[in-house]
Structure 1
Amino acid sequence: MSGSIFFEDYEIGNKRETIGRTITETDIVMHAGQTGDFYPHHMDAEWCKTQDFKKRIAHGTLIFSVGVGMSAAEINPEAFSYGYDKLRFIKPVFIGDTIKVRVTITDKKEHKRPNQGIVVELCEVFNQHGDVVLACEHLLLAKRKNHK
């Protein structure tokens, strides 16, 4: 899809996938500084050695924001983000992991504004092993064609 995409143009089952992006220590440090989340799971390598995963993990909110950014490759002037539902951090992401995103149109719903509808996209973030590490539903508020 490219250009102007209206509510009627979205088809359930359509998918798009991104290329990969490797998560770095710099990503984690910058995210901690931006959010104030210096929790030891992300920042303390020695403490993490005593925990289940044995190494630092990326913030779930970092993976969410990077994944959302990766999936926003095209600008559609006829739709905008209405929010996210059912956000889950399924598996940890570690420094050096490479993530990819798959977005699938799963539903279309009516909206109280008759000139718009809601498009539901399932966003799944995968690591380099093909494991889903994050999933959520992205809601798009899309204009209808020729509605007065």
Structure 2
Amino acid sequence: MFKSIFYEDYIVDSKRETLGRTITETDVVMHAGQTGDFYPHHMDAEWCKTQDFSQRIAHGTLIFSVGVGMTAGAVNPESMSYGYDRLRFIRPVFIGDTIHVNVTIKEKRDHPKRTQQGVVTELVEIFNQHNELVIVCEHLLLVNKKDA
């Protein structure tokens, strides 16, 4: 579905929240295969029993990717992803945890070189089933202006 949302239409402090998604062992194994990240923290259940968390943890990049994907809804032909800033892995996510994502429009600013576009910053917060923050970052959107 396509819905045009222009720079002027974004409202600072507006929020949206996703439904939940449970992280599975298949997610972890497939991510390891796709990225080549086979560190024991993710793959070796016996070794992990000797570590602080006592169990395997999902890759931070997996949770980031899944979380970002969960926020993708209707396609907005007036915007595109411009990148991510301030990405932090706050807490581990374990196999069987369920994550959900809150997105808040944090800021809007003119693009310094592209006068027909602005930059919208979304605060992306990924939480586990205990409502504990596990990942936080800022998603930058490059958005067309109405009168461009």
Alignment TM class, shorter chain as reference: over 0.9
Match of 2:37, as an amino acid?
Answer: D
Q: May I ask how many residue pairs the two structures share in their alignment? A: 146
Query: What's 2:135 paired with?
Result: 134
2:145 match: 144
Letter in 1 for 2:8: E
What is the one-letter code of the residue matched to 1:140? L
Q: Deviations over 1:47-102 (max 9, x none)?
A: 00000000000000000000000001121000000000000000000000000000
Aligned to 1:121: 122
Q: Which runs of 4+ in 1 moved over 2 A?
A: none
Deviation at 1:121, TM superposition (A): 0.0
For residues 125 and 82 of structure 1, the distance between their equivalents in structure 2, rounded to whole angstroms, comes to 20
SS at 2:77's partner residue?
coil
Q: Secondary structure at the match of 1:51?
A: coil
State the shift of 1:6 in Å. Answer: 0.3
TM-score (norm 2): 0.97
For residues 75 and 142 of structure 1, the distance between their equivalents in structure 2, rounded to whole angstroms, comes to 13
Give % identity. 72
Letter in 2 for 1:42: H
Tell whether 2:68 aligns with 1:63.
no
Aligned to 1:4: 4
Counterpart for residue 75 of structure 1 = 75
* 1:88 counterpart = 2:96: no
- Unaligned segments of structure 1, at least 5 residues: none
How far, CA to CA, are the matches of 1:106 and 1:90 in structure 2? 20
Partner amino acid, structure 2, of 1:72: A
